[in-house]
Amino acid sequence: MADNQIVTQPQTVNSILASEAFQAQIARALPSHMTGDRMLRVAATAVRRNPKLGQCTPGSFAACMLTLSAAGLEPDGRRAHLIPYKDECTVILDYKGLVELALRNGDIATIHADVVCDRDEFEFNLGQVTMHKVNLREPRGEPYAAYALVRKKDGSTQAAVMSRDEIESVRKRSRSGQSGPWTTDWGEMAKKTVFRRLSKWLVLSPEIRDLVEAEDGEYQQPQPTTVQGKGMAKLAGLIQQPAVEEPAFVDVTEETTANG
């Protein structure tokens, strides 16, 4: 299709998924070890599991998909989530997804994060986590803090700690604070929140930094001009598709879980 061809944008999320032009954009945005077919099947599974995603504007859904494709993360509910906010689709990274991105940077050896509960033994002194002991034979109690600890390949470490009140303050400012992973996986979101704070002190690649900072505005969707949104300026050039039934993609949740 010529770039100067005058066409209109697809009108539904399903027509976005069925559009050959969009499928080609996804394939171009993905890193070489991932396939466009699997990415689209995972997205279709997410739409089936949350029908409100199908009511989002196709432009916002496409932007989220291209953002995740460029980052090499699937919206599988484990590394990243597609969350509807009114009629806009938004991306929320899971802790595991954020760690996966950071580890690609090359100078980080290990990343550890955890919640701290009432009966845990925990010490944070002069910017360092000096002790965290958990007795798994007894209930840990309610979480009152979370921390993230990064050990670099040169042996240096960096850590950050946030209280539950600080984490809750972040949740309350989030557009999706009352739904999605904040309500189903609070501990994972708490770990992600404190790691995001710590990541501001790490040297990350521009692409990873852009994706992390995209969430700073209460999880506002990044604009098409960002690195992750490359190709979004051409979305208006997608050929308009008639209303179609949702493609018969296979549910890949079990496959994703089995493969890690």
What are the tens digits of pLDDT across the range 90-126?
888 888 888 888 888 778 999 999 999 999 999 999 8
Dist. CA 49–CA 235, nearest whole Å: 25
- Please give the radius of gyration of the chain, using alpha carbons only, rounded to the nearest integer: 20
Q: HSE of 234 in the Cβ direction (CA atoms, 13 Å)? A: 14
pLDDT band at residue 216, thresholds of 50, 70 and 90? low
Provide the 10 A C-beta neighbour count for residue 6. Answer: 7
What value, to the nearest 5°, has the Cα angle with vertex 118 and ends 112 and 119?
Answer: 85
Res. 1: pLDDT tops 60: no
Dist. CA 88–CA 254, nearest whole Å: 28
Dist. CA 182–CA 92, nearest whole Å: 10
Residues 38 and 163 in one domain: no
Mean pLDDT is highest, among 51-65, 93-107, 242-256, for 51-65
Q: What length does the chain have?
A: 260
Picking from 31-40, 102-111, 134-143, which range would have the lowest pLDDT averaged per residue?
102-111
Residues 128 and 184 in one domain: yes
- For residue 186, being part of any structural domain is answered with yes
Q: In terms of residue numbers, what domain contains 2? A: 1-94+205-260
Picking from 47-61, 71-85, 88-102, 198-212, which range would have the lowest pLDDT averaged per residue?
198-212
Single out the residue in 180, 203, 226 at which a domain terminates.
203
Residues 198 and 115 in one domain: yes
Number of domains in the chain: 2
User: Mean pLDDT throughout 144-158?
Assistant: 94
Residues 55 and 126 in one domain: no
- For residue 253, being part of any structural domain is answered with yes
- For residue 101, being part of any structural domain is answered with no
User: Mean pLDDT throughout 152-161?
Assistant: 92
Dist. CA 209–CA 135, nearest whole Å: 37
- For residue 193, being part of any structural domain is answered with yes
Q: What is the pLDDT of residue 145?
A: 97
**What is the pTM assigned to this prediction?**
0.67
The pair of structure tokens assigned to 255 is 């496959």
- For residue 190, being part of any structural domain is answered with yes
Single out the residue in 166, 182, 203 at which a domain terminates.
203
The pair of structure tokens assigned to 43 is 């997205």
The pair of structure tokens assigned to 31 is 């890193």
Res. 198: pLDDT tops 60: yes
